[in-house]
Amino acid sequence: MPQRTEYPHLQAITTRWHDNDVYGHVNNVTYYSFFDTAVNTYLIEVGGLDIQGGEVVAFVVSSACDYFASIAFPERIEVGLRVGKLGSSSVQYELAVFKAGEEEACAAGRFVHVFVDRASNRPVAIPDRLRAVLEQLVV
């Protein structure tokens, strides 16, 4: 089971009332939103990604998640983020969801971003500034 110490970046996220499903826990699809939030917060705040007007954007092309323990609103969580593979135009993120302060993950997943030119939707090299901050997460 993934451990908190295996992830160089942690993003705090608050679960929301509507995250719970009829079974009383956070629905599986919501974990993908947590992953997206953690990655894009990092890319915007640390890497300077301009999601509104930048020439380069990142598209998710693959994703998966494994679940180990449930979480439910109103728990506070942290999403661990690391980079498993850094290519020329793509990056594979490895993520894990932790209850705040706990060492073992409740879920672990991965997804791949391909960086593309906004106008043409064609793959481009990861911009230097983003590559530099992504390299900090390679384990």
Closest of 53, 76, 78 to residue 2, by C-alpha:
78
List, for residues 41-100, the tens digit of each pLDDT value. 999 999 999 999 999 999 999 999 999 999 999 999 999 999 999 999 999 999 999 999
54, two tokens? 């930048």
3, two tokens? 């451990």
pLDDT at 28: 94
Q: Name residues whose C-beta falls within 8 Å of residue 39's C-beta, 6 or more positions apart in sequence.
A: 81, 93, 95, 111, 113
List of domains in the chain: 4-135 (3.10.129.10)
pTM above 0.85, yes or no: yes
Angle between helix axes 28-45 and 128-135 (nearest 10 degrees) is 120
List, for residues 27-41, the tens digit of each pLDDT value. 999 999 999 999 999
Backbone angles phi, psi at 2, to 5 degrees: -60, 145
